[in-house]
Structure 1
């Protein structure tokens, strides 16, 4: 157990039909400024799970910025991710535990605040993603509940009276957005705040400035709220950073926080187990054909190096072997595949030096652990490749010239052209390697109906090599099934 301070339990109730319903609204509003820390016991598993779920949403928000998604598209993608990982229902929902949802949302935020307060760069990225998430939720919230949230807080704005509105009627009229022939409406509400609180509106000339005050129309009221959220969170992150050294000796939490702080680099993988689903098995003979049509750049590079050199060094075998295992290659087929690939070795040398490691990765030797395939984050951050190694992420570890040459050589037959490279290389230069991989996926699967911005489905970015390959195979199968129906 990790004791955040006082112990409080949240127990959902049930209606007469047995359906789970929310408790007594300990968290009164769906929107949250997160200015009250969680004060209850949580397990280490819950501590990490809630943070990972929230990080998946924030990582996709950052990917959306890297891909220059328009606001409407970003909002759609973010809401889909929220519904999947961090759902927050309105108070009217009676078949879900609303308090439990809001509790997990709050816990995830505060855990990530611990993880991302460590440096100026991490604070900046976290602040931008969290503010965007708040904006998305604010725009999608029920109007009545949103007004209730606003009424529960003091935003230090002053509503402008009729006398003051009449004094500045001409200037305020210039701010109005009117349809042709429509007259100035004096009933429009305005709020006074210090102009330093709405710099974005000042820059866009959407407010009236007088004596250091900004007169904000009610339609722009949300700008005050977003700025307040961002300013509060920025201060909280700085305070958290000062208090964080007290946790350095906690060996339970520090490794988790270190791992979470890397989440923006390649997203957070989910749904990829250490064993293939039933019926998805492949044979050794199928690997080469699948590689040429469905593999991401990292696995394609490993496969082509193996076929060319008839050998891979240790970390290359580990990365590729676990990927093939999760893809559906059974232990028997794996031994056949690697034996054929290492054709320059005698049977005795292969059995002594390589067969044991293959069986070990399947959990059949040693401590018999069922090892999962490496995610994009693990490939990017661990076991950095040397000059003669083939493992790693090409988008990060290849020289720009070599990466462009390899992309064209590998994917030109799938629709990738030299005109696509500047966009891909721009994201690589900015350090958004999984975004570059996602864009390659979209380009090479455009003929199968994948549009720009769609990613591997629902706007989601690539976060795992097996995710890339599985989705690619699914698209091909769907296309084949459609063709059979027509036929």
Structure 2
């Protein structure tokens, strides 16, 4: 699959540079992804295209877990698409439409490689991709949508006027439209019908929207999309199964496998957002003595748990110290304050032991020792990967009983009650850990005007502990500056 250098991922026999917008390599905005991409890309593009698409699919899945309405889902998804994966209409001649559709095409196939590995991943990928296709289908212009439908053989049979008249009574009985009977009948008279095997439109059969006769379903043109969506889903399912059988061939390439492993974690924690605070401190400087109070007001459960364990045991294991130390560093704790904080926290050991065994590692995490790298704080995706320990994600690694107890202990004073737990635990049960954390943020920050579905701002889900804490601190600061601060014990 790869050539001798890092530039080859797919081979292209006919690369095209789009200069004439009248001749498009990708003639339609909608795509069934029947043909694999046959063009050269760099490893960087391979990963970026997949990550940008995964941001959208992860938000679609998160929206389902957060019970967003269809209209809200479309609004959020379209906003994400405009940011990460824009697809302009064919009539938009001022943009390079082929370049946009090329990225869309490549990203889809890379994610196929990442999500074909298990039945659960395939199921979730199909659901998210089908939802994305539906949203694009709904937003496509009528003429362009018709051109796309005409370009494919959906194996439906148009019902002629004679047959429509023959079954007029039955067809009219199943036709759903305006509550005004005369308006409904008038609309029916101009409606076109198509015949397909009833197994191709199970959703319409279930909702009694079609007339069945001899194994055929008579589908009105306004419900034609159900045939299209079902076809998309069935073809994608077959393609993923075929990809899964071919996947072992990639094991020899050490460049692809780590990328695919990382992508396949995207539905667990979402995709790390372009949050600017993930690399270095961007907040106001905090003092060692402030950490305890900040943990009660602003920390996500993973970091609050680490802080409580540190207070209780006066110690944390190595990876717990690393994770919590980097979190505090990005939050705004300087190196001098960090040394003071950890020295006070490790009160059961001598100064000599602390200086010999711990101080070097603290300075190392700030880039002052060793290779002097400026280490970023761990994202949710990284925190989810360890096994159960003192530094993992509580939503994933705690038992249901322990998680509920921990949530109430940590956030009951912030407005979370036992009546909120069933909704949160339902998200945890379906592996939507970041959605559960996001919902906790919304509940515990409702006093600041945060509403359900808003997440940490801009409808974004929590993808980083520092993102959670930074947004919480911003909300408090904004309220204080406006003179409307309220005391929350």
Cα pair 1:274 1:371 within 8 Å, conserved:
no
> Where does residue 17 of structure 1 map in the other structure?
none
> Where does residue 204 of structure 2 map in the other structure?
201
Mark the runs of 5 or more structure 2 residues left unpaired by the alignment: 1-6
Matched, 1:305 2:309: yes
Q: Secondary structure at the match of 1:248?
A: helix
> Where does residue 236 of structure 1 map in the other structure?
239
How far apart are 1:80 and its partner, in Å? 2.1
> Where does residue 215 of structure 1 map in the other structure?
218
Q: Deviations over 1:305-335 (max 9, x none)?
A: 2123222111110110111122222223222
Bigger Cα displacement from structure 2, 311-320 vs 73-82: 73-82
Matched, 1:5 2:14: no
- C-alpha change, 1:66 and 1:473, in structure 2 (3 Å) is same
> Where does residue 331 of structure 1 map in the other structure?
335
How far apart are 1:188 and its partner, in Å? 1.1
| 1:364-383 mapped onto 2 (5 Å cutoff) | 364-382=368-386
d(CA) in 2 for partners of 1:11, 1:259:
31
How far apart are 1:92 and its partner, in Å? 3.4
d(CA) in 2 for partners of 1:327, 1:291:
11
d(CA) in 2 for partners of 1:279, 1:408:
28
> Where does residue 161 of structure 1 map in the other structure?
160
| 1:10-409 mapped onto 2 (5 Å cutoff) | 11=17, 24-176=23-175, 177-182=177-182, 184-185=185-186, 186-272=189-275, 274-276=278-280, 278=282, 280-382=284-386, 384-386=387-389, 390-409=390-409
Q: Secondary structure at the match of 2:212?
A: strand
**TM-score normalised over the length of structure 2:** 0.92
d(CA) in 1 for partners of 2:17, 2:288:
51
Q: Provide the alpha-carbon RMSD of the alignment.
A: 2.1
> Where does residue 18 of structure 1 map in the other structure?
none
d(CA) in 2 for partners of 1:278, 1:381:
26
Q: Deviations over 1:48-75 (max 9, x none)?
A: 1111111111112112222333222222
Bigger Cα displacement from structure 2, 168-177 vs 129-138: 168-177
d(CA) in 2 for partners of 1:411, 1:205:
46
- The size of the alignment, in residue pairs, is 474
d(CA) in 2 for partners of 1:318, 1:480:
32
Cα pair 1:454 1:460 within 8 Å, conserved:
yes
d(CA) in 2 for partners of 1:233, 1:405:
42
Q: Deviations over 1:447-474 (max 9, x none)?
A: 1111112212233221111111111122
- C-alpha change, 1:95 and 1:470, in structure 2 (3 Å) is farther
Q: Deviations over 1:187-224 (max 9, x none)?
A: 21111111111111111111111122111011101001
Matched, 1:437 2:437: yes
**TM-score normalised over the length of structure 1:** 0.92
Mark the runs of 5 or more structure 1 residues left unpaired by the alignment: 14-20
Q: Secondary structure at the match of 2:435?
A: helix
- C-alpha change, 1:301 and 1:278, in structure 2 (3 Å) is closer
Cα pair 2:303 2:324 within 8 Å, conserved:
yes
d(CA) in 1 for partners of 2:204, 2:311:
59
Q: Deviations over 1:275-296 (max 9, x none)?
A: 3355543332332222111100
How far apart are 1:297 and its partner, in Å? 0.4
Runs of 4+ aligned residues of structure 1 deviating over 4 Å after TM superposition are: 7-13, 21-24
d(CA) in 2 for partners of 1:67, 1:279:
29
How far apart are 1:43 and its partner, in Å? 0.9
d(CA) in 1 for partners of 2:454, 2:244:
37
Cα pair 1:274 1:370 within 8 Å, conserved:
no
Cα pair 1:275 1:325 within 8 Å, conserved:
no
- C-alpha change, 1:243 and 1:385, in structure 2 (3 Å) is closer
Cα pair 1:12 1:23 within 8 Å, conserved:
no
d(CA) in 2 for partners of 1:171, 1:121:
40
- C-alpha change, 1:102 and 1:283, in structure 2 (3 Å) is farther
> Where does residue 458 of structure 2 map in the other structure?
458
